[in-house]
A and B are shown apart, each in its own frame.
Chain A
Amino acid sequence: MPVFKVPFNGYSVKFSPFYESQLAVATAQNFGILGNGRLHVLQLSPSPANPGQPIIELSSFDTADGVYDCCWSESHDSLIVAAVADGSVKLYDLSLPPTANPIRSLQEHTREVHSVDYNVVRKDSFLSSSWDDTVKLWTVDRPSSVRTFKEHAYCVYSTAWNPRHADVFASASGDCTARIWDVREPASTMILPAHEFEILSCDWNKYDDCVIATASVDKSIKVWDVRSFRVPVAVLNGHGYAVRKVKFSPHRGSVIASCSYDMTVCLWDYMVEDALIGRYDHHTEFTVGVDMSVHVEGLLASTGWDELVYVWQHGMDPRAP
């Protein structure tokens, strides 16, 4: 299965919503603690005719600080948003040469930007979340943020737009809460004290707009129905260290992918009793990025601090040649 070596430590990987063979990878030097960053755009070779190079690099963009996350635009096939550790949010247009990029650098966050997420319903806006405890809403046609959501008491590690409601998103924070927001409302509409430890990631079920998953430093993933948030719908235990990212499958409502500081990628079905349905131990350092292809069911990508990007089909060995 294809593997690609990047020069820095991998931080995030995202499949393109437009092309099944493209993915973006965010990387940072020195584990993201200090140094530069680079955003890679990779192309999966369309056929096995080119076995020597199953993944080639289409382009890459350097940044002066680590890139912690990236997301593809849902409206333009060549636009990528990057979350940079220097507090900036940068927009890259793949159709332009690297020298003409980034086309925009949005400098408002006062600390590291840890995640970006593109609105899948309206397709004209995106969110950034930062260690400055805020979430900011941006549209591509404005040079400054539309709104700042400041309620969390500590780093906001991730945000996720609701797949069905254009104005609703969830945020996950180190203050041990997840919050549900409606951008039309002045304050968060729901505070979910989801874990006893920091919450690093959240995502919405793509088939049930009331269900979210949260991933925490407490090693667990919890699935919640926001209409009855006193008890989680499911608690998924099995990771040995903090769970870094959680992602609902675009194809099956109850399937979740996660990656963890225990260096594994896990696949879960929260509806069944033995929820853990897949475990991949292919990385040799912290695994911090995972994604599932919208185009090919079961196609997974992961990256980690071992500077490798893997793309593989669920059920296969990522490291198999």
Chain B
Amino acid sequence: MAMRELVSGGAACATSGSSSSSNPLGSLANALLGSSSKTQQERLREIPTSTAIPSDGSASVGTGEPLSGLPGSELDHPLQPNAQGSEFLRGFRSADQHGLADVWDDIQRPQVNFPPEHVLRQPDTNGPPQRVLSSFLHSFVNSSHGGIPFCPATLPVLGLSAGDKQCIRDRSSIMARHFFADKSEDFINAQVNALLSSLEIDNDIRAPGPAFKRYQELEKYWHETHGMRPGPNPADGWVAEFAQHPVGHGDPSTWVQSFEQEHGANGWASEFEHEHAQLASMDHIRGATMPHLAAMEQTRMLANTLAQNNDPKFQNSKFFQFVSKMSRGEITVEDNQIKPATLSAPGDWATEYQQQYSGGQTWADQFLSKGPNGWVDEFASERGHVDDGWVNEFSKLHVNDWAEEFGRQVGEGTFGDSSADNWASAYDEYLNEQTALKQQSESSRGVYVFSDLNPYVGHPNPLKEGQELFRKGLLSEAVLALEAEVLKNPDNAEGWRLLGIAHAENDDDQQAIAAMMRAQEVDPTNLEVLLALGVSHTNELEQAAALKYLYSWLRHHPKYGTVVPPNQPDSLYYGDVATYFSDAARMSPDDADVHIVLGVLYNLSREYDKAIESFQTALKLKPRDYSLWNKLGATQANSVQSADAILAYQQALDLKPNYVRAWANMGISYANQGMYEESIRYYVRALAMNPKADNAWQYLRISLSCASRNDMLEACDSRNLDFLQKEFPL
């Protein structure tokens, strides 16, 4: 221990989590004394240029330099695994001829670099890929043949250390997911496996596949929200069973053989894998581990993809050639050396396969017509009782790919007619889900969505009722009455307009826009409608649309029509529109509306100071306009004056106590000031008045987690207002 301390500078320089010792002598000490490190599986990395100053926390960084005063500076730790420090040891041994003193000096003198050939394992990367590979494998060979008694148990005599293999495996699998984005998970695994088996890297090192990990969070969500025990969920069940299915049926090899006889040996694995990949990828269902196929089969898959990419640039890519050659067996690994394959060209079977594949029937057809027994049927009948639980849950996750894939599979008849009914019903459910989603997106495109079960339908004068309710501030009721009105009289612009305003005040700009667009259809020049549309689009951050309506407002205004050019330009620029309104404001400085629009415009351009000024000017002219107070507050909040904003919102609420939007905005302002508890109370108040305000639910959720009230998240997610109101009274 003392010796290690002496040479390595003590614990100060030991980096945790790294197998490296801080200097070469340290690794010598480790080699001699035996390593105390527990991170032996770390991969070997040699010393590039770093130096060996005993690091005591005040290592010389160079005096007078701007950064020299940084405390805790330490030198780069050569990432040399203690027990695998063969590079150093070799250097050490060779240096031995010149005497230990030299080595000691080398180590002590930071300026001295190791000779490049010791420093960098693969100085030459300009050669063809084989050479690159060859040279790095050479280094592995050298490093692992150092004869140091290190992890013999885990490593058979192989060119690559476990760490390197892990490294190649992990990195190539992560990268392959970027290159081959279009392909399925298993396909990518096959790619990586091909690469790895060419390098004689076994699959015993399991890299965590992202697909298995990727949805952990969602899984957790399932467990949390549905009270399921973590553990194999039903989805895993069927997938696993599916994966094992061939094995479960007596003698799998005979099955394989009979299929091979029918279809030729070249087809089975790839085709099965392809199909399997499709199934497993619908999508991201976890756990369907491919039965490990022979390396050659996987190799074919890889070459197949490469052949499928017709882009000449890709065919010329060194990287792809590198992968491709290894996968095609043109490079083989023998005795840890890279050799060109001796066999005659492995046949252009890739292209052959491609032709065959693209020309042929789909696998499913082939298999269903010729396949022995139709495993699909069996599978379906066996698993006829798959419980719907996971299906329902899964369908809630909006995994579009899955649905599409599923739809396609169903469309292609892959599962056969007898495919389990539960799949179909799951799909139906999913469709419903999709329809609901579509409705949402339609409303975002301006289609008004009516409420179900409207008690005001049949009311003799729903418009009057709606106006009355609106005046009383019962916005949600007013919405229903006004909906009844526009159902009765779809051409009533005033009905639509008031409906839009009610939605806007209820903090639902999507519906507000939809209603206002209907109003505008009926009455294209209604100034109030145009202004409201401009404001709502601004709230939804849709600048182009907002500009369009604000421009129209000006053009149709009896006073300001002359300010703008008569023909609306194809595309409106913010600057132009702002100029027109500035002109208008100069024309009649006492028109509150112009100042309001200017304030909205300045919000679009994020010139909040100017916007505040405009709204304040407008408020002098219209002090009792509660929506104007709200606009002022929102602008102040945007310009980080949340305290002022709260005063403005308070004004709005004094004028109109049931103004949902102002309540919600109040919450936002408190949240912006870090007063999350306060903000929660306001959001809950706003939601109590209008539970349909989706934005407010989202804000509430954020505030709850910021206030560390995770205990209330469930109530928030289930929209349990009673509970929330009890917990957060205002």
Contacts and interface: CB of A to CB of B under 8 A. Distances in A.
Are A and B genuine complex partners?
yes
Interface of A: 7-8, 29-36, 61-65, 76, 78-79, 85-88, 90-91, 93, 95-105, 107-108, 110-112, 131, 140-143, 153-155, 174-176, 185-187, 189-190, 196-198, 200, 208, 217-219, 225, 227-228, 230-231, 233, 240-242, 244, 261, 263, 284-286, 305-307
Given A7-B125, A141-B71, A190-B702, A153 B45 contact: no
Given A217-B178, A286-B319, A208 B606 contact: yes
A35 B136 contact: yes
B74 A104 contact: yes
Interface stretch (B163-171, B368-376, B462-470, B718-726): B163-171
B409 interface: no
B67 A76 contact: yes
What are the 4 A-B residue pairs with the smallest beta carbon separation, nearest first?
A: A143-B72, A62-B48, A64-B45, A217-B181
Given A35-B121, A99-B110, A176-B214, A64 B179 contact: no
A36 B179 contact: no
15 contacts: A30-B132, A32-B171, A36-B120, A76-B66, A79-B66, A93-B62, A93-B66, A97-B111, A98-B49, A100-B62, A107-B77, A174-B214, A196-B400, A198-B210, A217-B181
Given A95-B66, A101-B76, A36 B48 contact: yes
Given A35-B121, A154-B214, A174-B214, A30 B136 contact: yes
A155 B177 CA distance: 12
B15 A62 contact: no
Interface centre among B47, B49, B213 (most CB of A within 10 A): B49
Most chain-A CB neighbours within 10 Å: which of B122, B125, B695?
A: B125
A65 B79 contact: yes
B18 interface: yes
A43 B179 CA distance: 32
B17 interface: yes
A198 B170 CA distance: 16
B8 interface: no
A115 B679 CA distance: 35
Nearest to A200: B178
Interface in B104-136: 110-111, 113, 119-122, 125-126, 132-133, 136
A33 B171 contact: yes
B705 interface: yes
Given A99-B49, A198-B177, A153 B76 contact: no
Contacts of B126: 7
A231 B125 contact: no
Main secondary structure of the interface of B (DSSP, over half): loop
B65 A96 contact: yes
B65 to A, nearest CB: 5
Contact of B122 (A35, A90, A98, A244): A35
Contacts of B449: none
A93 B120 contact: no
A103 B136 contact: no
A107 B16 contact: yes
A155 B211 CA distance: 12
B461 to A, nearest CB: 37
A34 B167 contact: yes
B175 interface: yes
Given A61-B49, A153-B217, A241-B181, 12 more contacts: A30-B122, A35-B121, A36-B122, A87-B18, A93-B67, A99-B110, A100-B110, A107-B18, A153-B213, A153-B215, A155-B174, A197-B181
B125 A107 contact: no
A283 B193 CA distance: 28
Contacts of B120: 36, 62
A93, A100, A131, A230 — which one has the most chain B CB atoms within 10 A of its CB?
A100
B216 A153 contact: yes
A228 B62 CA distance: 50
Contacts of A97: 111
B306 to A, nearest CB: 14
B61 A93 contact: yes
B236 interface: no
Contacts of A62: 48-49, 119-120
Contacts of A93: 61-62, 65-67
A240 B177 CA distance: 15
Nearest to B59: A103
A34 B164 contact: yes
Contacts of B179: 241-242, 261, 286
A45 to B, nearest CB: 24
B284 to A, nearest CB: 9
Interface centre among B50, B71, B170, B444, by most chain A C-beta atoms within 10 angstroms, is: B50
B49 A153 contact: no
A33 B175 CA distance: 9
B45 A65 contact: yes
Contacts of B181: 197-198, 217-219, 241-242
B318 A285 contact: yes
Contact of A103 (B73, B113, B178, B541): B73
Nearest to B124: A7
B46 interface: yes
Interface string B202-242: 00000000100111110000000000000000000000000
A314 B446 CA distance: 39
A99 B67 contact: no
A190 B701 CA distance: 10
Contacts of A78: 65-67
Nearest to B120: A36
A245 B317 CA distance: 20
Nearest to A91: B67
B258 interface: no
Given A100-B61, A241-B181, A225 B541 contact: yes
A91 B72 CA distance: 12
Nearest to A219: B181
A244 B15 CA distance: 32
Nearest to A133: B213
